[in-house]
Amino acid sequence: GQQVQQSPASLVLQEGENAELQCNFSTSLNSMQWFYQRPGGSLVSLFYNPSGTKHSGRLTSTTVIKERRSSLHISSSQTTDSGTYLCALRLSGSFNKLTFGAGTRLAVCP
Amino acid sequence: ETAVFQTPNYHVTQVGNEVSFNCKQTLGHDTMYWYKQDSKKLLKIMFSYNNKQLIVNETVPRRFSPQSSDKAHLNLRIKSVEPEDSAVYLCASSHQRTEVFFGKGTRLTVV
């Protein structure tokens, strides 16, 4: 089965609403990152967060290794937050590469 | 400004041609990667180099070959392109197994 699973696959919000994106993994990990990608755009690193909680503006990333999950919280969403959010991990047995989830496609409507 | 630079941005070619993509990083990293992003936006590792040594070589067709001249450069050559090679190819770098930074990608269209 898939080693990295993201949920939901897609999400539609009204501007101002909050969102919680999930990333679950099946093996132990060495590190994890959250990325943002606009359609046709490059991958922008949002967080490098192997464990614990990190904040950046309206974004919060929390990784709980024991529970094999990481979450990305977006507060007070804006239309410019629309795009795809990807989690990527260095998993046990394959630390020399990032393994990506399939992503969450977010659309924020005005 | 330091970053990961890829050329070209776009490339359109015919089936059977050879193409080469360039990647350079100015971050002082020792590890570089090539990823392929398909039409469904799934990202898969192709190759990884650490200090010019190949450390990851996923199951990719033999027509794909990476070329590393030094720690800052990792090129990708496709010997005889096929339609299924149409994708976005992303180069990235990191310091050993830490945070990974990506270039803007090269979009290949094979007609």
Mean pLDDT along residues A73-102 = 92
Cβ separation B48–A96 shorter than 8 A: yes
Mean pLDDT of A61-87: 95
State whether B43 and A88 contact (CB < 8 Å).
yes
Amino acid at B72: A
Specify whether the CB–CB gap between B97 and A92 falls below 8 A: no
Neighbour-count burial of B97, counting CB atoms closer than 10 A to its CB (0-12 exposed, 13-18 middle, 19+ buried): middle
Tell me the per-residue pLDDT of B24-79, one tens digit each, with 9 for 90 and over. 999 999 999 999 999 888 999 999 998 888 888 888 899 999 999 899 999 999 99
pLDDT at residue A1, rounded to an integer: 52
* Phi and psi based region of residue A91 (left: phi greater than 0; alpha: psi -120 to 50; beta: remaining): beta
Q: Are the beta carbons of B97 and A96 separated by less than 8 Å? A: yes
List chain B residues with CB under 8 Å of A86: 43
pLDDT of A35 > 80? The answer is yes
User: Between A31, A96, A100, which is nearest B98 by CB?
Assistant: A31
